Amino acid sequence: MTDLPVYALSVRQPWAWAIIHARKDIENRSWKHGNPGLKFRGRVAIHAAKGMTRDEYEDGADWIRRCGARCPHAADLWRGGIIGTVEIADVVRSSMSPWFFGPVGLQLRDPQPIDFIPSSGALGFFRWSAGDVSMVPDPARWMLQEGRG
């Protein structure tokens, strides 16, 4: 994919991985009325945030399993850059999707993985730019201690 969207949305792992690889069709947000993000529609880059705690990983991996996918090991998840693109088709306040837990859901479709591009993140929708590999965090000790195989 050569023409990447100008705007990105930062999502913590393993949820970013699930959007691109596990058919996660809703991105949950706590945005309130008046947030400009509620009006966004169209293609957006998915930025995998740098941070990921053990609890975030375990809770996300459990949810991903319940939705029928196998989450990669924590150390294998890219963080600190763009991992793919997706189209935001709508914003909903309820959904039958197993991924929805609200209160607001960005309805997603047509995920497209790309080769990882290091980039800084920001809150909400933001204009992203490519960085260099020095900004990519090393795996935390707990990530390396997990059983792999």
Domain boundaries, the chain: 7-145
Distance CA 97, CA 89 (A): 14
* The pLDDT of residue 85: 98
Q: What is the pLDDT of residues 46-65, one digit of tens each?
A: 999 999 999 999 999 999 99
Average pLDDT on 34-43 reads 90
Whether residue 107 is predicted with pLDDT greater than 80 in this model: the reply is yes
Contact 1, 112 (CB under 8 A): yes
CATH of domain 7-145: 2.30.130.30
125-143: per-residue pLDDT in tens? 999 999 999 989 999 999 9
Token readout for 88 is 């935001």
C-alpha distances in angstroms, 3 versus 33, 44, 131, 148?
A: 32, 11, 17, 35
Whether residue 30 is predicted with pLDDT greater than 80 in this model: the reply is yes
Please report which confidence band the pLDDT of residue 147 belongs to, taking 50, 70 and 90 as the band edges.
low
For residue 36, what pLDDT is reported? 85
Instruction: Write down the pTM of the prediction.
Output: 0.93
- Cα 11 to Cα 20, 46, 97, 146, 149: the distances in Å are 11, 7, 18, 22, 26
